[in-house]
Amino acid sequence: MGLMMSASEGVAQEINDKQLVRTLGRVESAAPAIDVALLAEEASASAGKGVANLPNWQKLSKLSQLIVDIEFENGSVAIEPKSYRTVGLIADALHHPNLRRYKFLVVGHTSSTGDAQHNLELSAQRANAITEALSTTFAIAPDRLYSIGVGEEWPLDTANPKAAENRRVQLINLGLVK
Amino acid sequence: MTNRIAVFGGTIVLTVLALATDGRADTISYADAVSLLANDCGSDIRKYCKGLNLGGGRIQTCLEQNEGKVSPACTVTLANVITSISQRQSAQSSFATICKHDIAQYCKSVKGEGNVLSCLNKATRVNEGQCGQAIIDAGWR
């Protein structure tokens, strides 16, 4: 198993924790503040209707972030062993001195296969499972981690909402820990 | 900028938990530690720990409870991985204390932990001492 990152230019390259640290550490001083509770409220009120155009969800696009594939057992919150490495890489990056001052949001996404409300709940549980693994197995301080599920409401491939590409996890730098 | 990480099939590059001459195991990254776990325990996890997540010590507890059934390689790897993770955590938390003297000597005016680390990594004399070893053990070089 290798871990690869294809950058936005479409060039696949080997990724390591140093690249993760660099990518996640690019923080603009003008980055918008994010209210995670508000995001959750909006996602919950929008099940089946999408969130991409909601003002608070739009703000997330302006923040330093990565998209990762983390595979789960079917219908479960259990991370597949083949994805342990991805979670470990994230942990290595979050422990680096360049990122230790920052807090992060884990956003779980699904494809549109299945019921929208169920997808919303499962994605939230899975995002929570990732932050729990990071804070327990990998000792990241829990006050640096937030999780939220958005289900099928924000597809990457809007033309094909059932595409596997839409199942993903976003890791977003929320700025300095207060 | 948004980047995408994808996991492709292929061969795991195994990092061996080598014993240094003083008997202390070198630390490995969290990613390498759990890659070893996935490689040596993956099939046992799928067989005996279905539905359990990595967090909260659940996989560890499950594998330990099924010690008679899981492969001997998995049992050894689990113990090594736990040791390695805790050694790296300990190196990271003792960095500030071990490097205090070198920071005062070489990087006194530098602000911010990330900048201090870059400064220490550039100071050749630091590489040879305990602080240099602490940085390596913490996985920051």
Nearest CA in chain B to A172: B2
- The H-assigned helical ranges of B4-138 are 30-48, 58-65, 72-98, 100-106, 113-122, 124-128, 130-138
Alpha carbon distance B33, B16 (integer Å): 10
Task: Kindly indicate whether the ipTM for this predicted assembly is greater than 0.90, answering yes or no.
Answer: no
Find out whether B105 and B113 touch, Cβ atoms under 8 Å: no
Cα end-to-end distance, chain B, whole Å: 25
B127 CB within 8 Å of a chain A CB: no
For residue B59, give the nearest of B84, B83, B76, B34 by alpha carbon: B34
| Greatest pairwise CA separation for chain B in angstroms | 57
B10 CB within 8 Å of a chain A CB: yes
Mind listing the pLDDT tens digit of every residue in chain A (178 residues)? 223 443 333 333 456 778 889 989 888 878 889 999 999 999 999 889 999 889 899 999 899 999 999 999 998 999 999 999 999 999 999 999 999 999 999 999 999 999 999 999 999 999 999 999 999 999 999 999 999 999 999 999 999 999 999 999 999 999 998 7
Interior angle at CA A44, CA A40 and CA A47, nearest 5: 135
Nearest CA in chain A to B117: A97
